[in-house]
Amino acid sequence: MLTKSLTLCCLLALVLPTLAEVGWWRTAQFYQIYPRSFKDSDGDGVGDLNGITQQLAYLKEIGTTATWLSPIFTSPMADFGYDVADFYDIDPLFGNMEDFEKLLERAKQLDIKIILDFVPNHSSDECDWFIRSAAGEEEYKDFYVWHTGKVVNGIRQPPTNWISVFRGSQWTWHEGRQAYYLHQFLAKQPDLNYRNPKVVEAMKDVLRFWLRKGVYGFRIDAVPHVFEVAPDSNGDWPDEPRNEYVSDPEDYSYLDHIYTTNQPETIDLVYQFRQVIEEIDQELGGDDRVLLTEAYAPLDVLMQYYGNSTHNGSQIPFNFELLSNINFNSDAYHYSELLHNWLDNMPADKVANWVLGNHDQSRIGTRLGADRIDATNMLLLTLPGISVNYQGEEIGMEDVWISWEDTVDPQACQSNQQEFERLTRDPVRTPFQWSDEEFAGFTNGSSTWLPVSDKYKLVNVKRERGIALSHLNIYKQLRALRDEPTLKQGDVTVNAIGPNVLAFKRSLAGHKSYITVININDDVESVNLDSVFTELSSQLSYVVVNDKSARRKNDVTYANSVLLMPKEAIVLSTI
C-alpha cells in the first residue's frame, strides 16, 4: 500500500508555554468577512459596518480569533471596493469612521482582532492622487505608470501588448495628460508606480494610519500584480509572449504574464511592509500585528514571502494548495500530496496556514459536494497552525446560481452571456444566511444586492444551532478541540490509506494523540491505523463525528479496524 508520511517537528513545543508569549496568531482562527454580504443594518440591501458590529458575538460563538474584512474604503465600487478612492476613509455605503471605531471597540470587548484588506495594486481613477498625477502635478506626476505610446504607420498605439485581467488592453489613453496609463485590472483602476519611492512611502503611511487606529494587521491583496518589469533605458517595456493555446486576443490568458506578475521586487515590498508592522509593534506595544498575503504564485516563490535569513516577511502567506488544486475527483493521495507540499517546503521556524475558501472561489459544498463540507472543515481545523475560513463555509453555504441579468461582478460583466458563468464570482458573494426569516435575516429592507440562496430555510445559523450534527455544530466542536495542547502545539503525520481514506495524526509528548480520518468517497472502508501510525493505543475513542457516521461521540473502536461509512469524517483520540 502506498503511503506517504511525515513528521513535522513543531517548534512551538520547544518554545514558551503560554499563547501570549508564543504569538496569538500562530494557532489562530481567521474569518473572512465580505462586508457587502454579512449583515445589513440600515435596510438598503447591502451589508455594512454596523451590521458587522451587531453580529460580532456570532464570530465569538464560533471561536474566531481575528477577522479580515474585504475593502471598506471610499470607492466608486467599479470593482466592489477593490478600487480605492481614499485610502484614509470609509465608504458611506458601509458607514463612517465613527462606525468603524465602534466596531473596533466592540471587537476589543470580545477579544476579536480586526484585520483590514489592503489593496496595493492600484487605486481608483477617482483617487485624488490619480487626479493630480493626470494633471501633471510635480509631486504626483510619477505616482502612476504613464507612457505616450508608440506610433506605428502614423497611428498611436499602446506601448505594449499587455492584456488586462478583465480583458482588453492594460493601457488607457488619458486626454488630459496626453498619455496612456497602465491598469492591470479595470480602466477605473490605474496601477500605482511602485518604482517611485514616494508611492511606497505613501502606502506605508496608509498602513501606519490604520494600525494606530487599532487594527491588528492587513491582508494584502493581489501581491503578484504590484510590480511590472522595470522599463529599459528609453523608458520602454517589452511585449509579453503569446500563449499558443488561447485564441481570443482580448482574453487575459492570451499572453504569458512574465513581465507583469511575480516580479522579484514584490517580495522585498512585503518585507518592507513587515518592517512597518514591527515599527508599530515597537511604538504601541501589545499583541503582535500581522500580515496576510494573497499571492497565486509557485510554491518556491510563496515560501519567500515568509522572509529570508535577514528579513521577516508575511507571517501568513496564504496557502492555496488545497483551494487551487483539489477537485471533485481528487483521491486521498492527492490530498496528502497537497498537505505535504506546504508542510515539507515551509521554512523550519514558520507556521502553516490552511485556506479553503474566499470571495473569489467557488464554495466547498459546490466544488467538492455538500457531503464533504464537514470533512474539509475537519482538515481546516485539525491541521497544525492557522485556519482561514470564508464567511458561510462554517454553515455549509453553497454557490447560488445567478442569471446574466442579475450578474454584477465586473469580471463577468466585461465578458458575455456565453462566458460569464465561468468568470463570475457573484455566486460565492450572496447574503449570509442568518435565519429562516425573509432574506435569510440578512436585511429588513425590501431587496438585496445579490439574490439570497433558495436553500436558506434549511441552511442558516439559527436552524443549525439546534441540530446536533449540523455543519455549524461540528465546526464549533472542532474549534473547541483546538484548545487541546496537542492540537495547538503537536506534530503532524499525514498519510493516505489507499485512494479513499486520508488520515493524519497530531501528537505531543505527555498528551493524548488525535487522529483525523476522512473517507473521501462512497465505499464503506475498513482501515488499520496501526499500519500507518506508531504509538497508538489499541483502542481509540470518537471525539468528533459527522452525520454520515454510525458511531457516536465517546464510542470506542480498535485502532487496527476502523470502519468508515461513505463520506464519514471523524476525529479519534488515544485513550
Ligand X SMILES: *[C@@H]1O[C@H](CO)[C@@H](O)[C@H](O)[C@H]1NC(C)=O
Shortest separation between residue 313's beta carbon and ligand X, angstroms? 9
Query: What is the Cα–Cα distance from 304 to 294, expressed in whole angstroms?
Result: 13
CB of 26 to ligand X, least distance (A): 11
Closest distance to ligand X from the beta carbon of 131 (Å): 19
3-state secondary structure of 213: helix
Indicate the residue among 269 and 529 with the shorter CB distance to ligand X. Answer: 269
Between 43 and 241, CB nearer to ligand X:
43
- Residue (223 or 529) nearer to ligand X, CB: 223
CA distance 517 to 336: 12
Q: Which of 48, 83, 294, 491 is catalytic?
A: 294
386 beta partners: 353
Buried b (16+ CB within 10 A) or exposed e, 196-215: beebbeebeebbeebbeebb
Cα(503)–Cα(496) distance, integer angstroms: 6
Contact 176, 135 (CB under 8 A): yes
| Shortest distance, position 202 Cβ to ligand X, whole Å | 18
Assess whether 221 carries a catalytic annotation. Answer: yes
d(CA 477, CA 378): 10
Active-site residue, selected from the candidate residues 125, 221, 228, 393: 221
For every residue of 129-168, DSSP letters joined together read HHHHHHTT-TTTTTSB-EE--EEETTEEE-SS--B-TTSS
- In angstroms, the CA 552 to CA 539 distance is 15
Residue 307 CB, nearest approach to ligand X (Å): 7
Minimal distance, residue 1 CB to ligand X, in Å: 40
* Comparison of 289 and 506: residue with beta carbon closer to ligand X: 289
C-alpha–C-alpha distance, residues 353 and 331, integer Å: 22
Q: Which residues bind ligand X (CB under 6 A)?
A: 41-43, 79, 82-83, 121, 165, 185, 189, 221-222, 268, 271, 278, 308-312, 360, 444
Nearer to ligand X, 41 or 67 (CB): 41
Clarify whether 105 is annotated catalytic: no
What is residue 371's DSSP assignment? G
Integer Cα distance of 570 and 559 in angstroms: 13
Query: Of 362 and 560, which CB lies nearer to ligand X in the complex structure?
Result: 362
- Active-site amino acid positions: 221, 294
